[in-house]
A and B are shown apart, each in its own frame.
Chain A
Amino acid sequence: MEDKLSKEEVLHVAELARISLTEEEIKKYQVELKKLLNEVEKINDVEGYDDDILIANWDSNAELRKDVAGDMLNPKEVLENAPRHAGNYIEVPVVISDGEGA
Chain B
Amino acid sequence: MSKYIPTIGVEVHVELKTNTKIFSNSINGYGQMANSLTNVIDLGYPGTLPTLNEEVINLGIKAATILNCKIRKVMHFDRKNYFYPDNPKNYQITQARTPIGYDGYVEIIKENGEKKQIYIEEMHIEEDTCKSAHRGTKTLLDFNRAGVPLIEIVTKPCLTDGEEVKLYLEKLRELLSYGNISDCKIEEGSMRADVNVSIRKNEKDPLGIKAEIKNIGSISNAKLGVEKEIERQEKLYDAGKTFKPQTRRFDDKIGDTVLMRVKETGNDYRYFPEPDIPFVILTDEMIAEVIKTIPMLPDERRKKYQSLGVTEINTNKLVQNKTLSDYFNDLLDTEIDFKTASNLLLGDISAYLNKSEKLITDTKLSKERFIELVNLVSNNTLTSKNLKEILVPIMESDNSIPNIIKENGIENITDDTEIRNIIKRIISDNPESVNDYKNGHDRAIKFLMGQVMKETKGKANPRIAMEILTEELQ
Q: Which residues of A contact B (CB under 8 A)?
A: 12, 16-18, 51, 54-58, 60-73, 75, 78-79, 81, 86-102
Q: What are 30 A-to-B residue pairs whose CB atoms are below 8 Å?
A: A17-B83, A55-B274, A56-B273, A60-B279, A62-B52, A66-B54, A67-B53, A67-B54, A67-B55, A69-B19, A69-B25, A71-B39, A72-B39, A75-B33, A78-B35, A78-B38, A78-B43, A86-B140, A90-B142, A91-B141, A93-B138, A93-B139, A94-B139, A95-B84, A95-B85, A97-B134, A101-B80, A101-B84, A101-B86, A102-B129
Known contacts A56-B277, A69-B26: does B139 contact A16 (CB below 8 Å)? no
Known contacts A60-B278, A102-B127: does B20 contact A68 (CB below 8 Å)? yes
Sample of 16 more A-B contacts, CB < 8 Å, known A65-B53, A70-B39, A100-B82? A12-B268, A55-B273, A55-B279, A62-B279, A63-B278, A70-B25, A72-B39, A73-B43, A75-B34, A88-B142, A90-B143, A92-B141, A101-B80, A101-B84, A101-B86, A102-B13
Residues on the A chain within 8 Å of B132, using CB: 95, 97
Residue contact B57 to A88, C-beta cutoff 8 Å: no
- Give the distance in Å from the alpha carbon of A81 to the alpha carbon of B39 in the complex: 12
From 34 to 70 in chain B, residues with beta carbon under 8 angstroms from any chain A beta carbon are 34-40, 43, 51-57
Known contacts A16-B268, A61-B278: does B25 contact A98 (CB below 8 Å)? no
Residues on the A chain within 8 Å of B83, using CB: 16-18
With beta carbons under 8 angstroms apart, the residue of A70, A90, A92, A94 that contacts B26 is A70
With beta carbons under 8 angstroms apart, the residue of A56, A87, A91, A99 that contacts B278 is A56
B240 on the A face (CB < 8 A): no
Closest 7 CB pairs of A and B: A70-B25, A89-B140, A67-B55, A64-B54, A55-B273, A88-B34, A56-B278
Residues on the A chain within 8 Å of B43, using CB: 73, 78, 81
A12: min CB distance to chain B, Å: 7
Instruction: Find the residue from A18, A60, A90, A98 having the highest chain B CB count within 10 A.
Output: A90
Residue contact A78 to B143, C-beta cutoff 8 Å: yes
Residues on the A chain within 8 Å of B133, using CB: 89
A18: min CB distance to chain B, Å: 5
Residues on the A chain within 8 Å of B53, using CB: 64-65, 67
Residue contact A61 to B281, C-beta cutoff 8 Å: yes
B456: min CB distance to chain A, Å: 60
Residue contact B20 to A87, C-beta cutoff 8 Å: no
Residues on the B chain within 8 Å of A97, using CB: 86, 132, 134
- Give the distance in Å from the alpha carbon of A62 to the alpha carbon of B56 in the complex: 13
B137: min CB distance to chain A, Å: 5
Residues on the A chain within 8 Å of B215, using CB: 99
In the complex, residue of chain B having the shortest beta-carbon distance to the beta carbon of A17:
B83
B9: min CB distance to chain A, Å: 16
Residue contact B35 to A98, C-beta cutoff 8 Å: no
Residue contact A94 to B136, C-beta cutoff 8 Å: yes
In the complex, residue of chain A having the shortest beta-carbon distance to the beta carbon of B94:
A102
In the complex, residue of chain A having the shortest beta-carbon distance to the beta carbon of B15:
A102
Residue contact A93 to B19, C-beta cutoff 8 Å: no
With beta carbons under 8 angstroms apart, the residue of B52, B129, B138, B279 that contacts A101 is B129
Residue contact B140 to A62, C-beta cutoff 8 Å: no
In the complex, residue of chain A having the shortest beta-carbon distance to the beta carbon of B74:
A58
Residue contact A72 to B26, C-beta cutoff 8 Å: yes
B234 on the A face (CB < 8 A): no
Residue contact B277 to A62, C-beta cutoff 8 Å: yes
With beta carbons under 8 angstroms apart, the residue of A58, A68, A73 that contacts B39 is A73
- Give the distance in Å from the alpha carbon of A5 to the alpha carbon of B266 in the complex: 20
- From DSSP, what is the main secondary structure of chain A's interface residues? loop
Instruction: Find the residue from B19, B87, B140, B143 having the highest chain A CB count within 10 A.
Output: B140
With beta carbons under 8 angstroms apart, the residue of A16, A60, A91, A102 that contacts B140 is A91
Q: Render B4-21 as a binary contact track against A, CB cut-off 8 A, 1 for contact.
A: 000000000100001110
Residues on the B chain within 8 Å of A62, using CB: 52, 277-280
Q: Render B137-162 as a binary contact track against A, CB cut-off 8 A, 1 for contact.
A: 11111110000001010000000000
A17: min CB distance to chain B, Å: 7
B76 on the A face (CB < 8 A): yes
Residue contact A100 to B38, C-beta cutoff 8 Å: no
In the complex, residue of chain B having the shortest beta-carbon distance to the beta carbon of A58:
B279
- Give the distance in Å from the alpha carbon of A55 to the alpha carbon of B19 in the complex: 28
Known contacts A63-B51, A98-B247: does B138 contact A86 (CB below 8 Å)? yes
Known contacts A56-B278, A75-B35, A94-B134: does B128 contact A102 (CB below 8 Å)? yes
B469: min CB distance to chain A, Å: 64
- Give the distance in Å from the alpha carbon of A88 to the alpha carbon of B141 in the complex: 9
Residues on the B chain within 8 Å of A16, using CB: 81-83, 268, 270
Residues on the A chain within 8 Å of B126, using CB: 102
Residues on the A chain within 8 Å of B137, using CB: 93-94
Residue contact A65 to B134, C-beta cutoff 8 Å: no
Residue contact B35 to A89, C-beta cutoff 8 Å: yes
- Give the distance in Å from the alpha carbon of A17 to the alpha carbon of B91 in the complex: 12
- Give the distance in Å from the alpha carbon of A67 to the alpha carbon of B138 in the complex: 35
Residues on the B chain within 8 Å of A69, using CB: 19-20, 25-27
Residues on the A chain within 8 Å of B18, using CB: 67
Instruction: Find the residue from A72, A78, A92, A98 having the highest chain B CB count within 10 A.
Output: A72
